[in-house]
Amino acid sequence: MAVRKHSFIEGEFYHIYTHSVGDMILFKTNRDYIRAVNTLFASNSTRDIPRLDRFADLNLVWDMKDGKIDIGENLVDLVGFCFMPNHFHLLIGEKRSGNISLFMHRLLVSYSKYFNLKYERRGHVFERTFNSKHLIDNEYLLRASAYIHLNSKDLDNWQKKECQYPWSSFQDYAGENRWGRLLQAKIVLDQFDGHKQDYRRFAEDARNIDYDPILT
């Protein structure tokens, strides 16, 4: 198993990337994407993950957002995300030592069990070690945010419409935050004085950004 080249430091932010084994499609239907989003938010809790198969659509997330389900404390600051067909990106902050690793373990194991059961397969779903890049300063935090939110440009029909892509937090930065307190968008948006159109222009202007997507 690969050895990580850095530790996760309390109060620091990281670009997390994980890929399927053998370029396998992780999200074959909208229902798979919905399950991934439910799992993402449900995993970010000090409490046990609820039975996700009991919830249709995004009802679980709405109940968490509205306080109908007690999620306890968040394990990490979830700042941004983008789910793609065979991989996904996260922008997260370490709140307490060990929390990122615990959060990622819960997220990957839960979705893997769902995927293998649904598609009647066995074995690993994700590569054995998720990748992470320490965002060493605020400039890299903003660059990573733009890179993650522009990821859908590589998909057919989503070029220059990335802020409308439903399985990314970009639309929550450019418009109403669908996830409320579950998504810590203010960590980035406050740097634009909360002006969402300014952030959108910043991100869209970054299509040729000098940001190394090779994570270490």
The stretches of 97-195 forming alpha helices (DSSP H) are 99-118, 138-149, 170-174, 186-189
Within a domain: 147? yes
* Domain housing 189: 13-208
Residue-wise pLDDT for 173-188, tens only, equals: 999 999 999 999 999 9
The answer on pLDDT for 115 being more than 50 is yes
Per the domain annotation, does 70 fall within a domain? yes
Better-scored residue on pLDDT, 170 or 57: 170
Tell me the CATH number at 88.
3.30.70.1290
**Which residues have C-beta within 8 Å of that of residue 152, sequence separation ≥ 6?**
82, 84, 158, 162, 165, 167, 168, 170
Could you tell me if residue 214 is inside a domain?
no
Residue 8, in any domain of the structure: no
Domain membership flag for residue 216: no
Number of domains in the chain: 1
Higher pLDDT, 100 or 55: 100
Confidence of residue 134 (pLDDT cuts 50, 70, 90): very high
As a whole number, the mean pLDDT across the chain is: 90
Answer yes or no: is 5 within a domain: no
Considering the domain boundaries, does residue 159 fall inside one? Answer: yes
